[in-house]
Structure 1
Amino acid sequence: MDTYLAIASRRDQRRYRPEPLSDDVVGRILDAGRLAGSASNRQPWTFVVPEGRSRVEAVAKTVYVPDNVLGAGLVVAVVVTGKGPVSFDAGRAAQSMLLAAWNEGVASCPNGIAERDALHATLELGEEETPVIVLTFGLPERLRDPASRTAEDWSARANRRPLGDVVRRLP
């Protein structure tokens, strides 16, 4: 898929079909996060994947919309260690995973953390580790064909502020 088309056509989706994701697809999604750039190549992230049902249910209780986690075929908590721009680096890794998933026909959604301390305990994180975001992935309940429109058409239909409102040019 064309990168700009992937960016323009991707939308957060919170409802997934019950079929599991293949190990190959899961591997490519996680590897896309691993390949993301980071400040001074520190790679401050760990991708924690809860797999047992009770662990997934415990993670679901820590986010703002638990159903996103409960219905997902893959749940990934992006965890960082260290100081500096680690949250920015985590965002780069997360966006890489979201785009890689979309390239595979997999829907996804970032989930905000409502109970950070509870998530920290649920994931059995160390003292220096901080959970940043919980990503959910699954086969989309509602199929969307990125090639059904041009990237420009997807962009025009996006519920986003106009480009002129978000870009400020300085002489």
Structure 2
Amino acid sequence: MPRLGHLRATGEIEWVPMETWDAIRARRNVRAYTAEPVTDEQLTRIAEAGWRAPSASNRQHWDFVLVTDRQQLAELGTVWHAAGHVASGAAAIALVLPVPVDERQRLLDQYDLGQATYAMMLAATDLGIGTGHSSVGDHARARAILGVPETHEVTYLLGVGHPADRPLRPIKRPNRRPFDEVVHRGGW
């Protein structure tokens, strides 16, 4: 049973972390956020989850830029046609990689970054905070907004904030392909 919070004697709701399985089932892409801020402690915890993610040969080529400045968030919302939600979030995390030297490095780094992104998304969900990922189309603009050197690419953005539409709770009937069509046992 998810432990999504309880009332203190003062009438305030205290956040109680979810079980891992509940966080996996509750995580969804959130693209509309309330005005409630995300604390520095929460944002740091989310970033730490990415920092702790697995990486091929422990290379950790990633860097994460935490953004809370309203002007930067607004500007980042313009670097991809589907990044508008970043502008309305309490924060964003820019996921940065070095420009790859070859296709193998690109593939390894992208895989690693996917693992780091998902770790951050689960950590955020555990805190009751929503995330929504976005690609970056205008790499030069994203670099300029964040002061990232030309040796690196701002590869993805992760909008961060409290969900505006509904709280994060385990989804009973996710919009997924049927499990038995996706999972094969012992062969195709």
Q: Which TM-score tier does this pair reach, normalised by the shorter chain?
A: 0.7 to 0.9
How many residue pairs get aligned? The number is 164
Query: Identity over aligned residues, as a percent?
Result: 31
Name structure 2 gaps, 5 residues minimum.
Answer: 1-17
1:96 paired residue number: 119
* TM-score, normalised via structure 2 length: 0.79
1:10 paired residue number: 27
Map 1:63-82; keep pairs closer than 5 Å. Answer: 63-81=80-98, 82=100
CA RMSD of aligned residues (A): 1.9
Change over 3 Å in CA distance of 1:59–1:2 after alignment to 2: same
The whole-number CA distance in structure 2 between the counterparts of 1:166 and 1:130 is 33
Is 1:49–1:74's contact at 8 Å kept on the other side of the alignment? yes
Further displaced range: 156-165 or 28-37: 156-165
Which one of 83, 107, 110 corresponds to residue 87 of structure 1?
110
Is 1:25–1:104's contact at 8 Å kept on the other side of the alignment? yes
Is 1:64–1:111's contact at 8 Å kept on the other side of the alignment? no
Further displaced range: 29-38 or 119-128: 119-128
* TM-score, normalised via structure 1 length: 0.86
CA-CA distance at 1:8 after TM superposition: 1.4
The whole-number CA distance in structure 2 between the counterparts of 1:57 and 1:161 is 35
1:53 paired residue number: 70
Higher helix share: 1
Which one of 115, 118, 123 corresponds to residue 146 of structure 2?
123
Change over 3 Å in CA distance of 1:51–1:21 after alignment to 2: closer
Give the counterpart letter for 2:66 in structure 1: V
Which one of 137, 143, 158 corresponds to residue 174 of structure 2?
158
The whole-number CA distance in structure 1 between the counterparts of 2:52 and 2:150 is 25
CA-CA distance at 1:109 after TM superposition: 0.5
Give the counterpart letter for 1:159 in structure 2: N
**Secondary structure in 2 matching 1:157:** coil
Q: Who wins on radius of gyration, i.e. which is larger?
A: 2
Is 2:143–2:150's contact at 8 Å kept on the other side of the alignment? no
